[in-house]
Amino acid sequence: MKRISLDLPLHLTRRALMTGALGAAFNATIAGSAFAAQSPGFARWVDAFHARATRHGISDAVYFRVMRHLTPDTSVYEQQSKQAEFTEDMWQYINRRCSEWRVNTGKERAKENAGVLARVEREFGVDRYIILGLWGMESSFGDVVANPKYMKPVIPALAALAYGEPRRRKYWEQELLNALLIVEKGWGRPDEMVGSWAGAMGHTQWMPEVWLKMGVDFDHDGRVNPFGKPDDAFAGTAKYLLERGKYKRGEAWGCEVRMPHGAPRRLADNRTWRTYAKWNDIGVRRADGAAFHRPHDQVKLWQPAEGGPAFLVGQNFRAVYSYNPSSSYSLALVHLGDLVRGDGPFRQQFPGGERAPTLEEVKEIQRRLKERGYPMDTVDGRTGSDTVRAIAAFQKKVDMDPADGYAGLKVLARLRQPN
């Protein structure tokens, strides 16, 4: 549904969008060089697109107010085409997104939002820790929702993609229409609708179509809103997992397991469904030694890397996968939720992996990099894009291979050595 979120080095509190200095920052962005002037070709396209918007239920008043003087955000073309700057092994990906900072923050947010999470759990049947894991993955528990460094007005971005990106033009046109319909319904103003370059918005990063079709007015304020307080975002996301992901009430996503000694790798084919009880009969055990809680639920055996941890995964893992079809994302999300719940780390380490650095160790990495002159805004224990770039530059300078930007124990050991 969306792109994978990063653990970004942000310090904004969760607050109303587009107010005070933040609103001024977004207005400055809109007026800035990221937006090309409205060309004659784009103006003609806007006029031609009007008829389609009318058929979609968008009034002339809304269409011309939003689109008549809109200039497309052409920076999205570069953002769409560029490849990821750094690649991550699965263990690195999980360590970053299940960092101590994120787990601690998740526990705080779980307490702060216990009431609404309990309501969502009762009404939709989705485990609150799945919701918390997803919230942490998508927006660092709301911290990135309103930050202009990472989020941009989505209607100019979607207009640029609908106008100038031919490969998925129908998709972008439809999402632009959906965004306009949100304005038509009074659920959001164009200046409120900020998100990723591709249009994903709010606490759990909804595309406009998801906002329209899966959204829930859970706080009963008369509109569906994935921004502000997270009530609607939690409920709409639970509805998505339930209806589109076929989430099963009461089931776990799965668990880490130990395979029987000498078992062939093909046993973990991630295709064969058996009950927990039948897996137990052939020697598969929970890694923590406990009994399987619901022995008759159907699950598959999956080992992402030979020699690494193995998992029994069920339908609710697939429900999470439906939200963002990435195995690394899905495993990191459910693991983050479990850590916030109070469960421990994986008992089997990934081959070639390291344990996750502690919060203090990440801060030490940042502090030592800053002392060596690498750009570092803050020393906060969060491994965001600035920290990743600084680490990669340091790794290249001292001939560490690979120069992957990972804030791990090997980097810390090298930083502790004299210059």
Which regions of 259-316 does DSSP assign to beta strands (E)? Answer: 274-275, 285-286, 298-302, 310-313
Mean pLDDT, range 121-147, rounded to an integer:
94
Out of 10-24, 155-169, 244-258, least confident range: 10-24
Region 87-96: what's the mean pLDDT?
A: 91
Helices (H), 56-168: 60-67, 75-81, 90-97, 100-112, 114-124, 128-139, 154-164
Helices and strands per DSSP (H, E), number in the chain: 18, 7
Instruction: Quick: pLDDT tens for 389-398.
Output: 999 999 999 9
Query: What pLDDT band is residue 419 in, cutting at 50, 70 and 90?
Result: confident
Per the prediction, the chain carries an average pLDDT of: 89
Distances (CA, A) of 88 to 28, 138, 186, 215, 403: 34, 18, 41, 33, 11
Beta bridge partners of 298: 275
pLDDT grade for 30, boundaries at 50, 70 and 90: very low
In this predicted structure, what is the pLDDT of residue 194? 95
Q: How confident is the model at residue 85 (pLDDT cuts 50, 70, 90)?
A: low
Query: Could you tell me which of 266, 331, 264 has the C-alpha nearest to residue 90?
Result: 331
CA 165, CA 74: separation in Å to the nearest integer? 10
> Is residue 257 helix, strand or coil?
strand
Kindly state the tokens that stand for 43. Answer: 């103006």
pLDDT number for residue 114: 98
Any idea where the domains of the chain sit in the sequence?
Answer: 254-313, 359-416
Higher-scoring residue by pLDDT: 5, 281? 281
CB-CB contact of 317 with 254 (8 Å)? yes
Pick 8 or 289 by higher pLDDT.
289
Question: In which band, very low, low, confident or very high, does the pLDDT at 80 lie, cut at 50, 70 and 90?
Answer: confident
